[in-house]
Chains A and B, each alone.
Chain A
Amino acid sequence: MAEKVVVTGMGMISSLGFTVESNWKNLVEGRSGVHTISRFDASSLATRIAAEVSPGFEEFSRDYIKKRQAGQMTQVTRMCVTASKMAVEDASIDFDATDRRRCAVIMGVVNTGNSSVEKDTTLQNFVFKNMSNSMAAWISMEYRLNGPSFSVNTACASSAYALALGFDLIRQGKCDIVICGGADSIVNPEEISGFNALYALSTSNDLPEQASKPFSRDRDGFVIGEGAGVIILESFSHAVGRNAKIHGEFAGYATTSEGYNIMAPAADGEGMAYTMREALANAGIEAGEVGYINAHGTSTELNDRYETFAIKKVFGDLAGKIPVSSSKSMIGHTIGAAGSIEAIITVMALREGILPPTINYRVPDPDLDLDYIPNIARVTEARVALSNSFGFGGHNATLVFRKYPS
């Protein structure tokens, strides 16, 4: 019988806080982490807002990362390493009592954030700051792990792919524990200018906290966020064997390609629907069992439209009864970190029995008529949930989580 994969630890950093607990509290309260950009002078840019991680993070991270190592990392890498350490602490893992050869690290990394706004980059630390394997490397070095350790890049689905690959390592019996997730920040002039040139970003600069409005008729593009999300995946037998606390079950997933366009999703959500169907099949879940969908929900015209169509294709008459919300309405689009951050939110939703809302939902789009949990969190008895991540280049992922105990 295939080994179950469970979540035994979580660590999260975003514009809403430095811990899973603080983030969850703010998400449930429907708070927005979006503000006018403070990290650099964005006044000349078309988009001047973002969901930035608070500057207090640097001080917070000193409890987790030595000064010497911090100097060889970008802020993005520091977020990843800090979130990883919090996740390991949460999981109460004693690596001395664990076979380190059966412990892996997989990080979703689009880039390490060594941009024009990154501080203290010198000739001597440039290579270490730049190399995209650095996050996985630092974490495996920290715990002296000897299993597979690598990064994966599938744009906005990167950390979801990292979780999927971690799932496979455990299911295939190659690993007992996988530290997986991702971190990202594109809050810099170059990236913002680039995305502005594609008309992808919201330019609702006057009311930052209301700018990210997934599924609304007046949505005008995504809002950049930043952060890190790390999950400890563990085989059920290993977790039970060491009496670990279990947050939830990672029941299955699908990772697919749309093979369609470098930026736009396939028409009418066809690729997204395929991904969700495959995920349900992989997890052995019937459509009627799904009680919540954490949407990719970017607040862009096409994604929100096609994702809604896709949900309808997959769930048919049930679609209108399944609550759907977008965490990006509050924490923005955390790009490479989105998959793992939103997986954490999904696990928390099932564990706590509360569904976070889609905030800023004031002007419904008549074509998009699902239940988007408008503005206020909701109590739930959901036992199964999906988390969607769809990246530029057509990289799709849907993760399936089950409440524990099932």
Chain B
Amino acid sequence: MALITDKTRVEVREIVIDFFAEECEVDKQTIHDGTNIIKDIDGDSLMFLELIEIFKKKYNLDIELKVIGKYAVKHPVTTIGQLIDMQMLIIEHENHLLELER
């Protein structure tokens, strides 16, 4: 389990917003927690997978995609804020993510 600091949260937010601004070709200033990834900025589900790979490399995470998938079924992500929150949980709990459900 990784230790989450305020710095981590700022970093994760920056990476997520930079990523979507670049991929969706939108101004960073227009992206906020309430931004709907598909409806507002024309994102797609593959972006979520790409972000997971980015964070896996950056934080050297031990996390399987199926674990994330099972968690996401019960906690669907549609907004930027929800995505940041989930990324934080992934970084903090890695493959123990599903234990949060128990």
Q: Which residues of A contact B (CB under 8 A)?
A: 66-68, 72, 124
Whether B25 sits at the interface, judged by CB under 8 Å, is yes
Among residues of A, the one whose C-beta sits closest to the C-beta of B22 is A67
At the interface, is chain A mostly helix, strand, loop or mixed?
A: helix
Q: Is the CB of A68 within 8 A of B49?
A: no
B23 contact set on A, CB distance < 8 A: 67-68
Whether B42 sits at the interface, judged by CB under 8 Å, is yes
CA distance A68 to B50 in the complex (A): 12
Interface positions, chain B 14-37, Cβ under 8 Å from A, are 23-25
A72 contact set on B, CB distance < 8 A: 46
Whether B44 sits at the interface, judged by CB under 8 Å, is yes
Task: Determine how close the nearest CB of chain B comes to the CB of A177; give it in whole angstroms.
Answer: 24
Q: Is the CB of A66 within 8 A of B25?
A: yes
Q: How large is the interface on B (under 10, 10 to 19, 20 to 34, 35 or more residues)?
A: under 10
A66 contact set on B, CB distance < 8 A: 25, 42
Among residues of B, the one whose C-beta sits closest to the C-beta of A71 is B23
Q: Which residues of B contact A (CB under 8 A)?
A: 23-25, 42, 44, 46, 49-50, 53
Q: Is the CB of A124 within 8 A of B42?
A: no
Task: Determine how close the nearest CB of chain A comes to the CB of B46; give it in whole angstroms.
Answer: 7
A68 contact set on B, CB distance < 8 A: 23-25, 42, 44
At the interface, is chain B mostly helix, strand, loop or mixed?
A: helix
CA distance A88 to B50 in the complex (A): 32
CA distance A124 to B48 in the complex (A): 12
B46 contact set on A, CB distance < 8 A: 72, 124
B42 contact set on A, CB distance < 8 A: 66, 68
CA distance A66 to B44 in the complex (A): 13
Among residues of A, the one whose C-beta sits closest to the C-beta of B41 is A68
Q: Is the CB of B24 within 8 A of A124?
A: no
A67 contact set on B, CB distance < 8 A: 23, 25
Closest 9 CB pairs of A and B: A68-B23, A67-B25, A66-B25, A68-B24, A124-B50, A124-B46, A124-B49, A68-B44, A67-B23
Task: Determine how close the nearest CB of chain B comes to the CB of A340; give it in whole angstroms.
Answer: 29
Among residues of B, the one whose C-beta sits closest to the C-beta of A62 is B25
B49 contact set on A, CB distance < 8 A: 124
Task: Determine how close the nearest CB of chain B comes to the CB of A315; give it in whole angstroms.
Answer: 53
CA distance A72 to B46 in the complex (A): 10
Among residues of B, the one whose C-beta sits closest to the C-beta of A122 is B50
Task: Determine how close the nearest CB of chain A comes to the CB of B49; give it in whole angstroms.
Answer: 7
- Greatest chain B CB density within 10 A among A67, A68, A72, A124 is at A68
CA distance A68 to B43 in the complex (A): 9
A124 contact set on B, CB distance < 8 A: 46, 49-50, 53
Task: Determine how close the nearest CB of chain A comes to the CB of B74; give it in whole angstroms.
Answer: 26
CA distance A67 to B42 in the complex (A): 12
Could you jot down 8 A-B contacts, CB within 8 Å? A67-B23, A68-B23, A68-B24, A68-B25, A68-B42, A124-B49, A124-B50, A124-B53
B24 contact set on A, CB distance < 8 A: 68
Among residues of B, the one whose C-beta sits closest to the C-beta of A125 is B46
Task: Determine how close the nearest CB of chain B comes to the CB of A71; give it in whole angstroms.
Answer: 8
Among residues of A, the one whose C-beta sits closest to the C-beta of B46 is A124
Given contacts A66-B42, A68-B44, A124-B49, 11 further A-B contacts (CB under 8 A): A66-B25, A67-B23, A67-B25, A68-B23, A68-B24, A68-B25, A68-B42, A72-B46, A124-B46, A124-B50, A124-B53
CA distance A321 to B81 in the complex (A): 72
Task: Determine how close the nearest CB of chain B comes to the CB of A143; give it in whole angstroms.
Answer: 15
